[in-house]
Structure 1
């Protein structure tokens, strides 16, 4: 059964269907328990329904007690707001698509470049070590990088001293604590920072070559690195 809601002081009724459309709800049909059709909820549909409700109020207002002008102005402003939100959503969707396309194009320019990205393995070959570095969240009073061989044995500790927050590329000749050249192989690095004796966050970075660009599940561009990992552009700390 259709129910009405009164609008204005003269008690004029407005159908529940119109109100349901405005509110985006359904009216249940009685005996069968089935549910009515869902009203359109697009910005254009909501705007049209809201305007219909406002016109109904104006048509049925009490001539001796008309609608307050400030209320009418407020409701007209709400109509413009509904339209504006719809246009804003469309603009943001278009902008997001353009940014994603631009990000992919920029990422492609990095193919073949060496970048510093989060990692803890470096390669040593012919007396030279692969590029690596450290990212600090805060200034530290002391920063040390510990180097371990494949057996997990510490072969050297690089003391970088006081460092400021940010990305610190590290140049290092691969030698052990006695100054002997380290044999070729893969080594693991860990960074430890301290602030007045207290531990500080330090993230190790390793140099990898960008081999290709892929689209990640969230739609953003991902860089496929030479170590087989895939990272986003925001994970790249430096381009070497």
Structure 2
């Protein structure tokens, strides 16, 4: 029984969907039994190659080690999720700033913001009604790179709903990338799946890692 035959038997024992992810402890035990049987029945005039045996032993140890590492990582991931959930509960009832272009009008005004990757010569914010028509335009002038906030006085639109905004930033004749930022309040957290989600009071859900700031 050659070493290559032992390897072939070991591969068959482990192969499931093309990946060696079966019960590693059981596979290792069966592999060692095959190896011992080979040694007991080897030809005394043609003994096994020590280098090949060492290689096979190293492989089974490597596979088992990877499996143990995966279990450790999964455990750490679970602990990290629990820590995130604990932090998330502290945000319930707090105001947060997250990516989005919706405006919530309260006491006749709405607050929102935007983020620039690079400085802009001019920034324009257009407030849009539910049908997409422009309700108002705010010319904010030159702005540096980073996050900025603005306040819109709603006036006669104080009771309007479904209001959004659009940011246009220019550097010379070049239009710059912008990220709109909206304000909302965290009403609950959701830990289902493999990520933490914040449930917002007015504008749906957002991933915890999307929060830019909170008040």
Per the shorter chain, which TM-score range? 0.7 to 0.9
1:7: which partner in 2? Answer: 2
Q: State how far apart, in whole Å, the 1-side matches of 2:181 and 2:201 are.
A: 14
Q: 3-state SS of the aligned residue for 1:124? A: coil
Match of 1:199 among 154, 158, 175: 175
Residue 174 of structure 1 contacts residue 182 of structure 1 at CA under 8 Å; is this kept in 2? no
The alpha-carbon deviation at position 107 of structure 1 amounts to 0.4
Q: State how far apart, in whole Å, the 1-side matches of 2:141 and 2:35 are.
A: 71
The alpha-carbon deviation at position 211 of structure 1 amounts to 0.8
Q: Does 1:234 align with 2:209?
A: yes
2:66: which partner in 1? Answer: 85
Q: State how far apart, in whole Å, the 1-side matches of 2:58 and 2:3 are.
A: 20
2:82: which partner in 1? Answer: 101
Q: State how far apart, in whole Å, the 1-side matches of 2:198 and 2:52 are.
A: 55
2:200: which partner in 1? Answer: 225
Q: Which runs of 4+ in 1 moved over 6 A?
A: none
The alpha-carbon deviation at position 195 of structure 1 amounts to 5.0
Residue 124 of structure 2 contacts residue 141 of structure 2 at CA under 8 Å; is this kept in 1? yes
Change (3 A) 1:193 1:64: farther
Change (3 A) 1:173 1:147: closer
CA radius of gyration, larger in: 1
Segments of structure 1 that go 5 or more residues without pairing to the other structure are 1-5, 26-39, 176-180
Residue range with higher mean Cα deviation, 109-118 or 153-162:
153-162
Give the structure-1-normalised TM-score. 0.72
> Within 5 Å, which residues of 2 pair with 1:152-231?
152-164=133-145, 166=146, 168-174=147-153, 181=155, 183-184=157-158, 185-186=160-161, 187-194=163-170, 197-216=173-192, 218-231=193-206
Q: State how far apart, in whole Å, the 2-side matches of 1:158 and 1:126 are.
A: 23
Residue range with higher mean Cα deviation, 46-55 or 143-152:
143-152
Change (3 A) 1:162 1:65: farther
Give the structure-2-normalised TM-score. 0.79
Residue 116 of structure 1 contacts residue 237 of structure 1 at CA under 8 Å; is this kept in 2? yes
1:139: which partner in 2? Answer: 118
The alpha-carbon deviation at position 208 of structure 1 amounts to 0.2
- Higher RCO (C-alpha under 8 Å, 6+ residues apart): 2
Q: 3-state SS of the aligned residue for 1:172? A: strand
